[in-house]
Amino acid sequence: MLSGILILTGYFSFAHFTRSVPHHSALAFASDEPTVGAPTHATVVLDRPDYLAVAEDETAPMWVRIEKVVPRPDGAYSYELEYTGLESGVFNLTDFLLKSPDERLSEPIVSVGVRSAIPSDAGEDMGELLPLPPANAFPYSKWLAASATSWLGWGLWLLWARHRAQRAVQEAEMASQSEAAQAADEAPSTRRMADVLRPLVEKAADKTISSKEKALMEHILFVYWSNALELDHLDDAEQLRRILEHEEAGALMRAVEQWLYQPASDVTPEEITDKLEPYMDLDMNELPELAKIASGTLSAGKNLLVHA
């Protein structure tokens, strides 16, 4: 049994050993074979446990160390070897074991290949010493500058926000003021004829109305009612006479005359409002001629009653 194993091991090792391999050629070896100087492990089955390794010599082509000898059930021994090729080539591991201090074992043949990792044209050059690329440092100065700039920008933004808020408040105030002004501006445009007449009538009720104001009031009423009653074809005196006689048209004029000349007139606001009632719904925008008279752009009113 043992001899059979030894013969088989010997046969395969011999076949491997005798393959055609040029010395010192890195290309002829398989890439998984050990290279020169690289310690490699191998197990060899031998018949005795007392073989020794050849002493390591710097000039030897290979160093072999016996790491462990393990007995096998079949009576043989497994030698766990560590070998290191100092040259490239194919070697018999048992050449580096000793039967006795003077005699090498050499059998069975256990061939191992050792390839060269240095290309044949590279001489003794061990290759380039590759530098380690520098690690990317955190760009602190840029970060600091960016932080300072951001801080300044932030400050400017806060200032702008504050300014904007203040401006918004001012604008809101201005808007409310302009709205008020606009409302005030728009008021005359929507004012009624009663609104124009009321201050004049109130003054007449208080007997404080000037002759000019009284003439203006009468002029407004005269123009309005002569149009309303279609009295244009008549002369002024006839028109005035008919207006004064008319129940609705002459009501305010008659009342004003009465308030002016009665000795102790005590006219109430309700009375004034009542007399102005026919003029409440009359929009001055729809009566452009009257609006002009009221704003004084037309010739000053005449004291029609005096004239009459």
Partner 1 sequence: MKKSELLWLVFPLILLVFHFSIGDKLRHAEAANTLEASGFVAEAKDRFEKAAVLYRKALLAAHPADFPLRARLEVAIARADIHTGDAPAASDLLERLQGKYSTASLPRELKAQLQTVRATAVYYTAYALRLLEASPERWNPKAYEARSLFVSLLQDAQKHDSSEVQERCRRSLEAATRLIHYRDSEIAGRPHPPIAQVTLERNAPARRVDPLEETP
Residue 261 as a binder of partner 1 (CB under 8 A): the answer is no
Residue 139 as a binder of partner 1 (CB under 8 A): the answer is yes
Cα torsion angle, 209, 212, 216, 222, sign: positive
Site size for partner 1, by CB under 8 A? 38
Min CB(21)–partner 1 separation in Å: 17
Which residue in 27, 129, 184, 264 binds partner 1 (CB under 8 A)?
Answer: 129
Min CB(33)–partner 1 separation in Å: 11
Min CB(179)–partner 1 separation in Å: 30
Q: b/e per residue, 43-64, with b = 16+ CB within 10 A?
A: ebbbeeeebebbeeeeeeebbb
Residue 306 as a binder of partner 1 (CB under 8 A): the answer is no
Residue 302 in contact with residue 219, Cβ under 8 Å?
yes
Which residue in 27, 126, 184, 264 binds partner 1 (CB under 8 A)?
Answer: 126
Q: For tokens 């008549």, what's the residue?
A: 234
Which residue in 5, 86, 228, 298 binds partner 1 (CB under 8 A)?
Answer: 86
Nearer to partner 1, 142 or 233 (CB): 142
Residue 25 as a binder of partner 1 (CB under 8 A): the answer is no
Min CB(32)–partner 1 separation in Å: 10
- Residue 308 is given by DSSP the state -
Bridge-based pairing state of the strands 111-114 and 89-92: antiparallel
Residue 153 as a binder of partner 1 (CB under 8 A): the answer is no
Compute the half-sphere exposure of residue 170: CA atoms within 13 Å on the CB side of its CA: 6
Nearer to partner 1, 45 or 86 (CB): 86
Token pair, residue 275, equals: 């007399």
For residues 90 and 113, give the distance between their C-alpha atoms in angstroms, rounded to a whole number.
4
What angle do the packed helices 251-261 and 193-206 form, to 10 degrees?
Answer: 20
Amino acid present at 61: P
Residue 55 as a binder of partner 1 (CB under 8 A): the answer is no
For residues 122 and 125, give the distance between their C-alpha atoms in angstroms, rounded to a whole number.
6
Interacting residues with partner 1 (CB under 8 A): 35-39, 58-59, 84, 86-87, 116-118, 123-127, 129-141, 144, 147-148, 151, 154-155, 158
